[in-house]
Amino acid sequence: MRNASFDFKRQVTVKLADERLQQALSRLQSRFVEGRSAVISEIHDLQETRDAAAQIRDRVLNNLGHWLLEFEERATSRGAVVHWAETVEDANRIVAEIAALHNVKTAAKSKSMVSEECGLNEALEKAGVEVVETDLGEYILQKAHEAPSHIVAPVVHKNKEEISDLFEKVHGLPRKTGIAELCREAREVLRPAFLNADMGISGANFLIAETGSALIVTNEGNGRLVTTLPRVHVAITGIEKVVPTLEDLSTLLRLLPRSATGQSITNYVSLLTGKRGEGDPEGPEHFHIVLLDNGRSSLLGTPMQEMLRCIRCGACMNHCPVYQNIGGHAYGWVYPGPMGSILTPLLDGIEKAPDLPNASTLCGACAVVCPVKIPLPDLLRKLREKQLTLGIRPQRETALLKAWSWLALHPRAYALATKIAVRAMNLMGGSKGLLHRLPGASGWTDGRDFPAPEGKTFRELYKERS
């Protein structure tokens, strides 16, 4: 997928003015924030479980090569073929080669953010394979020629009326308005795609080293159809998704659906192990697993390694005041919200996403809800530091931060400068006590007035009161 993160600031202005989007995003609160809150308390030892989940992820990441080889050995022994893709181009080429090897003309696909990262659909279309998205949200987006705006609910930015209009246009059937009717129509249109597909493509939420299995959690039955009906199944995922044992998996599964969709468990939890064996009633004749690196291994052993703990639940974006107001498309790439503001610069280049590490109030809500305790605000701060070191922030901002840093290290000069500043701002605020413009802070004052201070610094007020 092409990275458009460079355009973030302009997109923010567009998205904030989009009333339809704002209305759609208001559903995040009831559907995800309140949904999570209602079920997360079912885990009585929540903090201990989060600690255990973080430890499981760290144990894998600290020895990733070992666990991946263990997974490969077990998966291969059950008849799967494991492929290693260093780049997205490698992943696309490998899947196209698998399609050519098995004479694949049509593919049915369930939701996979790694495939979005690769732009896999476009690559397969170029190779002569027709790809049909079968997750309802992804199907809607494929028909609308749009990208997902959320990693769990890809079509959260659209309302029912838009989907009714779209289905009427692309299906050529009488317009339906009820959600159940729309789902039934999509089901009827999609059924032949499952039955006729030569190849099924899925992601994998986790890979289990102990058994060589790939796990997918879904709420629609499409995942099971895609992975069992076609004669070839390709699962594509990131190298960091491996976990050592089924017991480790059970810990992570206590947290994933509750954090993601506010469900104690998803409708379907499918553990896919090997190809169809002799006498098996179902399953693919060929099972390929494509493991994508795309920059992930370069984070191992660095201060950013913690980001690889991510289990893609989406809780950080659901609770982020920035995401809640602009949605996912403004971020410009596959991964939005706080996790995307870190992953996009890390995986696709910090110079391509200069504003994302700053797209946060650092309120800390994301870290509080993250099931694997990723210190997201700290990682954002580290990326900001890296930007300054690399000199890729605007010169004026860098100069202001340097001046601030000097003042912060010289208390007397700090006291004098702040004294002068608050008095000057108080005068500038006039009788209404509002500043319409503030040098160096136009991002704030372009959209709202800044309340002028009372004319005394915090230290002066503190001294007076004590």
Interacting residue ranges for ligand SF4, rule: CB under 6 A? 310-316, 339, 369-372, 374, 376
Q: CA-CA distance, 289 to 193, in Å (whole number)?
A: 22
Place of tokens 């939890």: 269
Would you say 272 or 316 has its CB closer to ligand SF4? 316
Minimum CB–partner distance for residue 206 and ligand SF4 (Å): 12
Task: Tell the smallest beta-carbon distance from residue 95 to ligand SF4 (Å).
Answer: 25
- CA gap 156, 141 in Å, rounded: 11
Nearer to ligand SF4 (CB atom), residue 95 or residue 374: 374
Residue 368 beta carbon to ligand SF4: minimum distance, rounded to whole angstroms = 10
Residue 218's contacts (CB-CB under 8 Å, 6 or more residues apart) are 110, 111, 135, 224, 266, 267, 268, 270
- Measured from the CB atom, the residue of 94 and 217 that comes closer to ligand SF4 is 217
Residue 42 burial (C-beta neighbours within 10 Å; 0-12, 13-18, 19+): exposed
- Nearer Cβ to ligand SF4 (250/442): 250
Give the side-chain half-sphere CA count within 13 A for 71.
29
User: Cβ distance 11 to 330 under 8 Å?
Assistant: yes
Minimum distance of ligand SF4 from residue 349's CB (angstroms): 20
**Closer of 258 and 329 to ligand SF4 (Cβ):** 258
Torsion of CA 73, 79, 85, 89, to 10 degrees: 180
Instruction: Return the number of the residue (88 or 339) whose C-beta is nearest ligand SF4.
Output: 339
Q: Rounded to the nearest whole angstrom, what is the least distance from the CB of residue 407 to ligand SF4 in the complex?
A: 34
Q: Amino acid letter at 459?
A: R
What is the spatial distance between Cα 431 and Cα 46, in angstroms, rounded to a whole number?
A: 52
**Shortest distance in whole angstroms from residue 342 CB to ligand SF4:** 8
Closest approach of Cβ 370 to ligand SF4, in Å?
Answer: 3
Number of CB atoms found within 10 A of residue 17's CB: 9
- Taking the complex as a whole, how short is the minimal distance between the CB of residue 340 and ligand SF4, in angstroms? 9
For residues 141 and 374, which CB has a smaller minimum distance to ligand SF4 in the complex? 374
What does each C-alpha distance from 393 to 173, 383, 386 come to in angstroms? 52, 11, 10
Find out whether 138 and 128 touch, Cβ atoms under 8 Å. Answer: no
What is the β-pairing status of strands 80-85 and 286-292?
Answer: parallel
- The secondary structure of residue 276, as a DSSP letter, is P
Tell the smallest beta-carbon distance from residue 140 to ligand SF4 (Å).
22
Distance CA 56, CA 392 (A): 36
Judged by CB, which is closer to ligand SF4: 276, or 384?
Answer: 384
Give me the least distance between CB of 36 and ligand SF4, in Å please. 10
Select 194 or 206, whichever has its Cβ closest to ligand SF4: 206
Query: What is the rounded distance in angstroms from the CA atom of residue 239 to the CA atom of residue 86?
Result: 10
- Nearer to ligand SF4 by Cβ, of 108 and 370: the residue is 370
Question: Pick from 202, 211, 209, 200: which is nearest to 241 by CA?
Answer: 209
Assign 106 to helix, strand or coil.
strand
Query: Nearest Cα to 232, choosing from 323, 105, 102?
Result: 102
